[in-house]
Amino acid sequence: MQLPIAVLVSGSGSNLQAIIDAAAADPSFGARIVTVISDRPDIRGLDRATAVGIPTRVVPWGEAPDRVAFTNAVCDAAEEAGATALVLAGFMRVLSKEAVDRFPNRILNIHPALIPSFPGAHGVREALEHGVKVTGVTVHFVDEHVDHGPIIAQTAVPVLAGDTEESLHARIQVEEHQLYPRVVKAFANGRLSVNGRTVIWEGETL
């Protein structure tokens, strides 16, 4: 039985593509994308979904009266498609706690920094501005705070001399595309559970 998931995107959808490719290549992947939801139309992420026959929905951010209404509309769209979990893949809107209430410990997010360092929308830029020598990628469960939920897995990425935001982000994305499908597979196969802020893996970890 495959876990039906909704993937949420706001841009190019490169992590979405990594999950699509991993699911297609691995019969034991355990998850099936039943819909891709975006907060805006005309993005590459929606095109990637359409190209492989995945239904898409747009829930426009600007049409919602507030964050709660937007969040409930996104959750409604996911549930209408049959999804029982949400996978945020470059989704640039902060969901309200109603999403966590409706999908408890069933929302994954990927962030281009080593949480708790540099949460928010500019993690790569802030890592460079602070002069860190190592940054990376974090996959975590979503809670009611921004980039704060229990950490599932992290991968370190060195900051090189002469790095720009674009060059560093490109190297981070290489790691994202490896890490996120592996975490989604583990989650879909029931290998992850949460005890407080601790994520428990069954069997071999990443």
Which of left, alpha, beta for 173 (phi over 0: left; psi -120 to 50: alpha)?
alpha
Concerning whether 148 is annotated as a catalytic residue, the answer is no
Two structure tokens written together for 110: 């990927």
Element (H, E) at 14: helix 14-25
For 95-134, b/e burial (b = at least 16 CB within 10 A) is bbebbbebbebbbbbbbbbbbebbbeeebbebbbeeebee
CB of 38 within 8 A of CB of 45?
Answer: yes
**Cis (ω within 30 of 0) for the bond into 27?**
no
DSSP string, 145-172: STT-SPEEEEEEEEPPTT--HHHHHHHH
Bridge-based pairing state of the strands 151-158 and 134-141: antiparallel
User: Sign (positive/negative) of CA torsion 38, 42, 44, 48?
Assistant: positive
Q: Which of 111, 140, 169, 177 is catalytic?
A: 111
Pairing mode of beta strands 31-38, 107-111: unpaired
Residues identified as active-site: 111
